[in-house]
Amino acid sequence: MNKATDYNEKFPAKPQPLTLEQAAQITPPTQAVDTEGMIDVPRMRAYRQNRLREQIKAQGFDAVILAEPLGIRYATGVRNCTLFQMHIQAGYLFIPAEGPVVYFDSEPGRETGSQLETIDEIRDDILPLSYMFAGYRHNEWCQNWAKQMDDLIKAHCGVGKKKIAMDRVGFHAEQAMLSLGHDVHDVGPVLAQARKIKSPEEILAMNLTIAVAEDGMTRMRDGLTNGIMEQELWALMWQALIENGGEWLDYRLLASGERTNPWQQEASSRMIRAGDLVVFDCGMIGPFSYGADISRAFHCGPGRPREEQRKMYTMAWNELMHNTQLMQAGTSFTELSERRYKHIGGYGDQPYPCMAHGIGMADEWPVILQSPDHPQFFDGELEVGMTICVESYVGQIGGVEGVKLEDQVLITEGGPIVMSTYPFEDSLLIQ
């Protein structure tokens, strides 16, 4: 019997699974990275693949083809040279609405896919989708690739024109699929709608990444002394990540002193001095490829923070607390934007690009903008099982410093649960 025939049989549910609320309160032991400990990883993989299958069918597709590594990771659990594959395709995945999951890998015997119950067939007749491997024969190889995919489509979806969703396979590959008569679409909506609702196992994995990130924050807080360089301090976050089995940081967002305004400046060789604010956004992809996106601001001693620093920090904290309480299931993005915390005295003139955004395997849909009047605004609704990062940045245009704070929140029937637990700075809060 084909492994993909019956998914209830393929992925039997275990008795007494955790609820979302229970999972949000538990930090798995770090040895779960290796032993799978209290995280039922096969169950987590099953949930994700079934979510993806549901969306393939719900959005009317016959199959999806994935080359982007986080999409492949979500669909199957395969992790292999992820950052490399962000820019050089070295594997791709075929998932029909019904039928076997086929993964193309240059080394099919290695553990990246051969041990996974989510993959029915691993093939080594992989064809180059990147110019690096194909050179001037790139277009030729992409046409061969499209024929390879067409054979799979005919075998598992039937003959004739089919509706296929694909991610970043490249221009020539997309054109080759179109030339074979298929109706080709972006897979983004399929993945976004599948990934938006998390299982309890995903929440456990996310809590593990948050714990790793907060370990990094503690190392940074303890290491923050007069004279340390920004990038030297940021290296402590990387150290915690690698030691605890994580994967990478999405960016180097750590700034101090005058570099905190405007925000989104990367760690530099600037020397941090006593009296500076140090602001960072962890942007961590940790164990199991789940994200922690949390921001804090520290004050570098010795000495006490200045009143302006305390004022900005307190305003950012107030915004974070206010907007977090708005994160109720059933609330529309328009309502969130209209009811959000609003700064006075020019401190809201330099807002962060969004008030909140989704997170799972890295940052993801949706992005909730500050105002429904924004030309890029789109509406939607918070749902139980979503994980949302709530953002605040406070700093006047032309000001000397700014403060960025961010928490990670789970949407439940009983209200928002803040998953990030790292404490705020008592010395910076005006009580």
Could you read off the pLDDT of 85-95 as tens digits, one per residue? 888 888 899 99
Q: How would residue 29 be classed by pLDDT, with cut points 50, 70 and 90?
A: confident
Given a cut of 90, whether residue 351 has pLDDT beyond it is no
Higher pLDDT, 114 or 57: 57
The rounded distance, in Å, linking the Cα atoms of 272 and 269 is 9
Question: Mean pLDDT, to the nearest integer, of 46-68?
Answer: 97
Question: Mean pLDDT, to the nearest integer, of 59-80?
Answer: 95
Residue ranges of the domains in the chain? 40-195, 200-428
Contact by Cβ (8 Å): 73, 109: no
Question: Mean pLDDT, to the nearest integer, of 413-421?
Answer: 97
Residue 169 to residues 93, 122, 176, Cα–Cα distance (Å): 11, 19, 11
Please tell me the least confidently modeled range out of 126-135, 165-174, 303-312, 373-382.
Answer: 126-135
Given a cut of 70, whether residue 36 has pLDDT beyond it is no
Question: Mean pLDDT, to the nearest integer, of 237-246?
Answer: 95
**Residue found by looking up tokens 């240059």 in the block:** 106
Contact by Cβ (8 Å): 62, 163: yes
- When the pLDDT of each residue in the chain is averaged and rounded to a whole number, the result is 91
Least Cα distance to 24 among 231, 199, 191 occurs for 199
The rounded distance, in Å, linking the Cα atoms of 307 and 275 is 12
User: Could you tell me the sign of the dihedral formed by the alpha carbons of 72, 376, 348, 327, in that order?
Assistant: negative
Contact by Cβ (8 Å): 420, 210: yes
Given a cut of 70, whether residue 8 has pLDDT beyond it is no
Joined together, the tokens standing for residue 214 give 């907060």
Question: Mean pLDDT, to the nearest integer, of 399-412?
Answer: 96
The rounded distance, in Å, linking the Cα atoms of 237 and 250 is 12
The rounded distance, in Å, linking the Cα atoms of 33 and 91 is 24
Joined together, the tokens standing for residue 87 give 């820019």
Q: How would residue 13 be classed by pLDDT, with cut points 50, 70 and 90?
A: very low
Amino acid 90: pLDDT: 82
Amino acid 3: pLDDT: 40
pLDDT cut 70: percent of the chain above it: 92
Contact by Cβ (8 Å): 40, 14: yes
**Residue found by looking up tokens 């009047």 in the block:** 373
Amino acid 113: pLDDT: 65
Contact by Cβ (8 Å): 119, 92: no
Question: Mean pLDDT, to the nearest integer, of 67-84?
Answer: 91
pLDDT tens digits, one per residue of 43-52? 999 999 999 9
Amino acid 114: pLDDT: 67
Q: How would residue 352 be classed by pLDDT, with cut points 50, 70 and 90?
A: confident
Contact by Cβ (8 Å): 357, 363: yes
Given a cut of 80, whether residue 5 has pLDDT beyond it is no
Joined together, the tokens standing for residue 355 give 């008030």
Joined together, the tokens standing for residue 53 give 């299958």
Given a cut of 90, whether residue 35 has pLDDT beyond it is no
pLDDT cut 90: percent of the chain above it: 79
Given a cut of 70, whether residue 109 has pLDDT beyond it is no
The rounded distance, in Å, linking the Cα atoms of 89 and 73 is 14
Joined together, the tokens standing for residue 271 give 């020397």
Write out the E strands in 106-223: 121-123, 163-166, 183-186
Q: Which fold has domain 200-428?
A: Creatine Amidinohydrolase (3.90.230)
Buried residues in 26-35 as b, exposed as e (16+ CB within 10 A): ebbebebbee
Planar angle of CA 380, 383, 387, nearest 5 degrees: 100
Amino acid 4: pLDDT: 38
Please tell me the least confidently modeled range out of 10-24, 122-136, 380-394.
Answer: 10-24
Strand-pair category, 121-123 with 163-166: unpaired
Q: How would residue 81 be classed by pLDDT, with cut points 50, 70 and 90?
A: confident
Amino acid 28: pLDDT: 82
CATH architecture of 40-195: 3-Layer(aba) Sandwich (3.40)
The rounded distance, in Å, linking the Cα atoms of 405 and 393 is 7
Q: How would residue 190 be classed by pLDDT, with cut points 50, 70 and 90?
A: very high
